[in-house]
Every structure is written in C-alpha cells, then in structure tokens.
Amino acid sequence: MPFLELSLPCTEQQQPRYERALEDVGALAVTLVDAHADAPDEQAIFEPGVGEQPLWGEMVLTALFEAGTPRDGLMLALHATDEGLDWSRASFRDVEDQDWERAWMDQYEPLKFGARTWIVPWNHELPEGADAPDAAVVRLDPGLAFGSGTHPTTALCLQWLDALANDGVLDGARVLDFGCGSGILALAALKLGAADAVGVDNDPQAVTATLDNAERNGVGDRLAVYLPQDEPAATYLVVVANILATALIDLRDVIVARCAPGAVLAMSGILAGQEDDVIAAYADALDDVQVERIEDWVRVSGRRR
C-alpha cells in the first residue's frame, strides 16, 4: 500500500522529542539521515560504542503514516502533542509502496571470491563457472542480517577462506564464525571442505538468518548457531571474526581463547588506520601476521602461538 511521508530537519538535541511526538500520533516508522550527506566533509558513523546511538548534529527526520492520513489533522495533532517544537518546516509527499526486499535482491548479482567460492542469491540461476565440479556455491538470502558478500570486509574474509581451502587447511576442520550475520562465512567454509562450523552472533535475527541459510544450502546438520551467552566452550582450528575494530579489541581474550594452538585467525571489519591497534592487541597471541586491504577496509590474519 502507499504511504504518506513527513520530513523535517532537526538537530541531535531535538531528535528524541520529534521522534516521540511522531510515534505518539501514529507514525509507522521513523528514520534519520545526515542533513549534509552530500557534503565533502560529511562524517560517516561506522562504530558506535556498546549501547550508544551516535547521531549527526543536523539531520532530516522522516516518518511514514498510512495513506490518506489528513495532513492538516496530522499537523494539528503534532502541535498539540508537543507545542514546544517547530513543525512549520515539515513537508509531505505520497510514497508508493514496493517490495523492498525484492527490489534489493533484484540488484544483487552472483559474486566470485578467490579461485572457486561463489555467493549466489537463492533465486538466481548459477552463472558460468559456478556450475564447475569444484565450485563452492553458497545460496544466500541475507534477510535482515549483515553479510551478502558485497561489503569489502566480507569479501576479504571470503578470499581468505578460499585461499585456506586451496592450501588444504579447511579439509575436515572445525570453523568458528564469530559475529556470523547471515552465516555467509561459515557456509562458505563448509562448502570449501570444513567438517562442521559454529556461528555466534548477539543479534537474534542473525541467528535466524544463519539457520535459514544453512538449511537452504543443505548443511543444517553441520552448522550450529548460538547467541554469545549460549555458546559452548570450545576451540577451533579456523576462526574468522568479521565484526568491528573496537569489538575485536574488547573481545580479544574471548577470541584468542577460541583458537586452538596453531589455529589460523582472520579479523575484519577494521577501517584502514585501525589495524595497528588490532595488531597490538593480539601481538602476544599471533605469529605470521598479515594485513590485506580492499578500499577503506582491512583484514588482519595470523596463526595462534
């Protein structure tokens, strides 16, 4: 169905009041974008701290209402809900509905990583090369979880796993995907020869998406997925953690404890310039440290002492 969209500029200090008022009068959804997103000095927010919701100083707040909602009546209701806010800059437009997930999937094409790893949308035909006998094909429906292969951090990890497989390291190995998102890395490891895998994520939606994708790929019996508090204590020969630099540093002891002696570890989600801090945090635990970069993102890998 179509929607009525209300947009208005606001500051970081005003945002909570505007959002509460809009929700009180029946907004179906409220979103925020940087008011200066096109400016050359626009600051992206990549790494909020735990429990933080960092916002831009100036932003545009957008709210959706059911189609047919009277605009004049809505404005009267907003003024009555919070008279201290300036509603005069609000603008409206009608928005046609569409299947947003379908629209996104239509833009998602099969991708190849390394020598034989393919990530293919679940409803897409196999491209040339992905039907080769030795191709490792992951059929993916990311759903609401992070991880489709299009982001450089995921690509860096997939390339690393593909190289491990070429060297025979994955054959029969047990793999940990720490911060599994859609399960893409655990699934790729299984398709490349790992015996079994474990995924861990603090987002219940990621757990659901990973389990769904495991069933879709016929490896549901070889992949277990846990929230952090439910994860059983274990060590692994291959560990990959595609999270964020701050989390990698904060969780250093947890991640190292998951690595068996001699295990290989890859860490990504690291912005260029942050790799030295990550390397320093793991300096006493890793040998053979290597750094790879795609665009503004970095992967740090090494072998557990």
As a whole number of angstroms, the distance between CA 147 and CA 153 comes to 9
Contact status, residue 18 vs residue 10, Cβ threshold 8 Å:
yes
Does 262 appear as a known binding residue? no
Does 217 appear as a known binding residue? no
Does 69 appear as a known binding residue? no
Does 296 appear as a known binding residue? no
Binding-site positions for S-adenosyl-L-methionine: 154, 179, 201, 242
Binding residues, as ranges, are: 154, 179, 201, 242
